Amino acid sequence: MTGYVPPMTRLEIVHADASMVAVNKPSGLLSVPGRGEDKADCALSRVQGEFPDALTVHRLDMATSGLLLFARSKAAQRALSSLFARGEVNKRYIAEVWGVPVPAAGEISLPLITDWPRRPLQKVDWEIGKPSVTRYETLAATGRTARIALTPLTGRSHQLRVHLAEIHNPILGDEFYAHADALAAAPRLALHAASLGFVHPETGVPVRLESPVPF
């Protein structure tokens, strides 16, 4: 990654309690520090400016916007990370894609692995790829593009981006996987983490976090 220029808008706190902090990460901001001092500005460092005890639980791609969750203790980090690992966090993304998926709703199951010569890109590999599953639903279609809801059942790197590109509906503005027309159709990656649902590891109360789609 070169020319990192993160947005300077204030990081919106969506939820905060004694165990966790959830923020609305803007597109263009790293979730955690990258390599080099020029990539130290990230969601984690900004959250720690207000909550010094914040710890990473999961990540979003730099280009993806939306809900990002941090723990506020080692115990909370272990508990929340375990929820993600066991698939007990209901994640919903919204994307704008090229074309209209056929069928309009369904499930994409493709094994993914890092494309080492071109990392951080990922690719489908039927021999040694790791299983990855995404459910999708078309919400609206307008001409050459569609708005879809995505529920990843696994958490592979670039999973949603690769899955949609593989079914010939790449996400608009995706510099890694979109063809030229789809890349030019949006000023940013049109992918947003819109909601997170899980049981609070401390209180046992269901938590539902929402973030409005910015595109």
Q: What does the domain layout of the chain look like in residue ranges? A: 92-191
Say which of 17, 61, 115, 125 is annotated catalytic. 61
Confidence band for 55, pLDDT divided at 50, 70 and 90: very high
- Beta-carbon contacts of 169 under 8 Å, excluding residues fewer than 6 positions away, are 97, 98, 99, 100, 101, 146, 148
The verdict on whether 61 is a catalytic residue reads yes
Question: Which tokens hold the place of 105?
Answer: 């709703």
- Token pair 């094994």: residue: 111
Say yes or no to pLDDT of 36 above 60: yes
pTM > 0.85: yes or no:
yes
Buried (b) or exposed (e) across 169-198, using 16+ Cβ within 10 A? bbbbbbebbbeeebbebbebbbbbbbbbeb
pLDDT of residue 143: 85
CB 47 within 8 A of CB 70: yes
Of 13, 80, 11, nearest to 41 by C-alpha is: 11
* Fold annotation for 92-191: Pseudouridine synthase (3.30.2350)
